[in-house]
Amino acid sequence: MADRVVTLNNGTIFEDSDCGYADRKLWCFIKGISFGEAYAAFSDPESTKEIRFLYGNVEEIYKGFTDLDIIRKSEFTIDIRLIGENTSREIIEIPTLTEEENNDVPDTTEERSESAAEGH
């Protein structure tokens, strides 16, 4: 999976894309799609009522941005600005394991394989 991922409420995923939040407006900078595809995806309020932006070990959750305000084509992306009445933004830091903690996690791959072979 890409380092920066935007996911719409309907499960549509845009890799190598970004979001930015300012003045109660949400900007999404989407790569690899056409203007028409972007319009179809972001003009549906059901699809944009919750948007998740994952980068590194941080997830930002945007809620209530259901109104497509601006859509434009730039050199490398389709730029979309969304607005809404009752909007919110939540930032979650996803804990990462240290190398020592990662080494302490038991490898159960072989156990699961044997279990599956036995029909459990």
> In terms of C-beta distances under 8 Å and separation of at least 24 residues, what long-range contacts does 90-99 make, across chains too?
90/60, 90/61, 90/63, 91/58, 91/59, 91/60, 91/61, 92/58, 92/59, 92/60, 92/61, 93/57, 93/58, 94/57, 94/58, 94/59, 95/57, 96/57
Question: Under a CB-based contact definition with an 8 Å cutoff, are residues 18 and 31 in contact?
Answer: no
- Residue 96's domain comprises 4-118
Higher pLDDT, 113 or 63: 63
Of residues 23 and 99, more confidence is placed in 23
Report pTM.
Answer: 0.78
- Count of domains for the chain: 1
118 has a pLDDT exceeding 70: no
pLDDT digits (tens, 9 = 90+) for 29-81: 999 999 999 999 999 999 999 999 999 999 999 999 999 999 999 999 999 99
Calculate what percentage of the chain has a pLDDT beyond 90. 73
Q: Which residue has the higher pLDDT, 118 or 45?
A: 45
CA 56 to chain centre: 11
